[in-house]
Amino acid sequence: MIDIDPRFSKILHSHEEIESAAKKIGAEIDHDYADSIPILVVVLKGAVMWAGDLFKNISIDVEMDFIDIASYNGGVASSNKILLKTDMTTDVKGRDVIIVEDIVDTGLSLQYLESLLASRGAKSVKTATMLNKEKGHKIAVKADYVGFEIDNEFVAGYGLDYQEIWRNLPFIGVVNPNIYS
Ligand code: PRP
Ligand code: MN
Ligand code: MG
């Protein structure tokens, strides 16, 4: 049924595939943070669905917090300007932090968060992203845990929005260019 959804030119990943990726990365985090209680920082809004999957697959003790930033304002291209809408509340000084993102595209959001957390004295900052769009990077950034590499196409679903809708879809698809061109 989802194969003929006219909103999408291609379906990239089903929720089963995403859950498998979360399982794999959850096990890596369990291993890498065995001696720590990291703070997982979910980047609103896009990362909520992925964060739910990832958290269920982490067994060590962790804390959670949320930060709301935005740069796309619902469109298909980054404004290149990051807006901090709602800050997290946990003190990260001396703590291991894992940024939980849905996608690293230009890399500007990740760079913003990495420097914000470093300026607040985090002991370490790593990133667990569902998607990495390597060809979209405008700066040198690197996510430590990556669910899937994707091509340079505009995707939505599973937390990612097109004009604030379609975050609820249980799959990730390439938005049909007819929709926005
Ligand atoms: C999207 C996405 C990432 C960021 C990645 O968020 O959820 O957070 O952009 O893009 P970048 O690497 O080019 O910075 P968006 O600004 O659309 O806000 P949202 O999560 O509330 O949709
Ligand atoms: Mn986002
Ligand atoms: Mg968005």
- CATH code at 25? 3.40.50.2020
Hunting for tokens 């859950």 — which residue is that? 19
Helix (H, G, I), strand (E, B) or coil at 10: strand
Contacts of 127 (CB under 8 A, 6+ apart): 98, 99, 100, 101, 104, 110, 114, 143, 144, 145
CA of 104 to the centre of ligand 1 (A): 8
User: What is the distance in A from the centroid of ligand 2 to the CA of 31?
Assistant: 27
Domain count of the fold of the chain:
1
User: Does any domain span residue 150?
Assistant: yes
pLDDT tens digits for range 124-138: 999 999 999 999 999
Tell me the per-residue pLDDT of 115-126, one tens digit each, with 9 for 90 and over.
999 999 999 999
pLDDT band at 3, cuts 50/70/90? low
**102 in active site:** no
Question: Alpha carbon 136 to chain centroid distance?
Answer: 15
Nearest CA to ligand 1 atom 22: 46
Q: Could you say which of 87, 105, 144, 151 is catalytic?
A: 105
To test the ligand 1 pocket, which listed residue (71, 85, 113, 114) has its Cβ within 8 A of the most ligand atoms?
Answer: 71
51 part of a folded domain: yes
Ligand with minimal distance to 112 CA:
1
- Provide CB contacts within 8 A for 83, sequence distance 6+: 69, 70, 71
Name the pTM for this structure.
0.97
Structure tokens at 149: 């590499």
Query: Which residue range(s) make up the domain with 69?
Result: 12-179
